[in-house]
Amino acid sequence: MFKKSIIYSLAVATMLFQSCSNFEEINVDPNNPATVPAEMLLPPIISGSVSTMTASGRRAGQYVQHLAYLAADNEADGRYNLTGASWREEWNGAVRVTKDINQLKRIAQESNQPQYEALAHITKVYILSLVTDAYGDIPYDEIGMANVPGLEFARFQSQEEVYQRMLEELETANKMLADLPTTATIQRDILFNGDLIRWRKFANALKVRILMRQSAKKDVASAIAEIFNNPTQYPVFTGIQDAPTLTYDNQNNFYAWFIQNPPTDGSGVDFSDNARISETMIGLLKRDSDPRLSVYAAPTRNSFERNRANASAPLEYRGQIAGFSQAEEAAYNRQNNLNTSDFSVVSRRIRQESRAFLMTYSELLLLKAEAIQKQMGVQGDLAAIYKQAVDASFAKWPQVGTSSQRENPYIDQAQQNAYWSNPANAFNPARGIEQIAEQYFIDSFLNGFEGWATWRRVGFPNIKPGPSVLAKIPVRYVYSDNEQNNPKLLEWVNSHYSGKMPDQNVKVWFQP
């Protein structure tokens, strides 16, 4: 019996050994392949990149005063009492997306699909342009490669070098897309629905943004002129239909924090939201009788309630002053006979929106206007391009179906005509850069990264924090507290910042 038992055990062991030799071949889940087709990675890359941008509305948008928060709910952020923990997810979320982008590029190269490789270049530049604009020096060449031996900690690079690498990638992407065979297609493209020319236009428009970002530190005139004056080689947006606008399915994938179930009071807004429209934004819109006021901001709760009781009572819009302490906010309200219901929150139009604007046609035209104003060799009628840019911003907000202005505010031709009938709204070369920057600020509403970056570069509009904030208006994000343990970052800080981790008041390279 003992001998039979040994023979049986040896037989089982032999069978197990033979099975193990074919284990990887047998134990493959057909529904979870080791390598996915390139197009499967595209939707999460696009939505992840856009989520990084839309999240900036709350923090960067507060610094540039698109928004201002009630002191009782957000005094630390509003008064700039900040630490590395304040920006943890802004860093980590972007890094996660770059891992997928690296995968997309690898799969595209291995499967000989240059169209997806080009999109990997563009999406990498887009998301890391947001990161470097906010943080300054970042890893670029090695980011998202922690799975590669020896690259567990990515090498940091200067912002100047990062911008150059991004411009090179966009040039590569533009050429790759231009040289594609006519049979090349893109599947699962939730941004442009496979339209390759729109991807080229996005790459080149993004190149303009990056060039102008560093224009205070480098001479970019010839590169800017080459793009705008050579549309065959460098096509860019020619209308709002070209610009990258992600439309979300709001049943499953909500666009940022302000999309919520509608309230039962008929207002269409969340009056309890502590994110208020800033005094700076509402002040600019009121000053110019700008029709975007009712698109961006809701009437105050108190005026809404008065109007509901008596239709002749006017609806009022009031901006929140940024950076108040709780004591200052309470004193201001007492002195002016106000309460928290006397300040505007985000409007019902935006709360009902399912669109995220990665870059707008208006932005591109304003950058073109700035280049002409600064005599960079770009052709065009400056005043006409400025007007076209503002009209393009208006055109983002057309009537929705048959909705009324009250149901879903929009901008019609009569409102545009009224706006331009005011001579003060026409382009004035004497204050050209200020006008262009103010329009940039308004058009980038809720794209906090873009509004904040342009304010840091140009210095307009004139924004002021509360009277007793704990620091200056931040000009950079602080590296995540988790990232501050990265030995590569510590090496970089030792060699470039004298060993002192830069805080939110240390300018990034592109700032004059």
The answer to whether the CB of 256 falls within 8 A of the CB of 248 is no
Residue at token pair 């819109």: 285
Q: Is the confidence at residue 140, as pLDDT, over 60?
A: yes
391 vs 260: CA distance, rounded Å: 29
162 vs 133: CA distance, rounded Å: 10
Q: Is the confidence at residue 87, as pLDDT, over 90?
A: no
The answer to whether the CB of 50 falls within 8 A of the CB of 440 is no
98 vs 151: CA distance, rounded Å: 14
pLDDT of 162: 98
pLDDT digits 0-9 by tens, 295-342: 999 999 999 999 999 999 999 999 999 988 888 999 999 999 999 999
Q: What is the mean pLDDT of residues 94-120?
A: 97
Half-sphere exposure of 63 (CA within 13 A, CB side): 26
pLDDT digits 0-9 by tens, 406-462: 999 999 999 999 999 999 999 999 999 999 999 999 999 999 999 999 999 999 999
Q: Lowest-pLDDT range, 122-136, 258-272, 324-338, 354-368?
A: 258-272
pLDDT of 28: 45
pLDDT digits 0-9 by tens, 43-70: 999 999 999 999 888 889 999 999 998 8
Q: What is the mean pLDDT of residues 366-388?
A: 98
pLDDT band at 256 (very low <50, low <70, confident <90, very high): low
Q: Is the confidence at residue 19, as pLDDT, over 70?
A: no
Q: Is the confidence at residue 9, as pLDDT, over 60?
A: no
H-run or E-run covering 157: strand 156-157
Q: Look over the chain and give the mean of its residue pLDDT values, rounded to a whole number.
A: 90
Q: What is the mean pLDDT of residues 276-284?
A: 97
* Residue of 160 and 275 predicted with greater confidence: 160
Q: Is the confidence at residue 290, as pLDDT, over 90?
A: yes
Q: Is the confidence at residue 12, as pLDDT, over 50?
A: no
Domains of the chain: 38-239+470-496 (1.25.40.390), 275-350 (no CATH)
pLDDT band at 219 (very low <50, low <70, confident <90, very high): very high
pLDDT of 252: 60
Burial class of residue 20 in the structure, from the number of CB atoms within 10 Å of its CB (0-12 exposed, 13-18 middle, 19+ buried): exposed
The answer to whether the CB of 467 falls within 8 A of the CB of 332 is no
pLDDT of 254: 59
Reduced to 3 states (helix: H, G, I; strand: E, B; else coil), residue 357 is strand
CA distances from 7 to 2, 4, 15 (A): 9, 5, 12
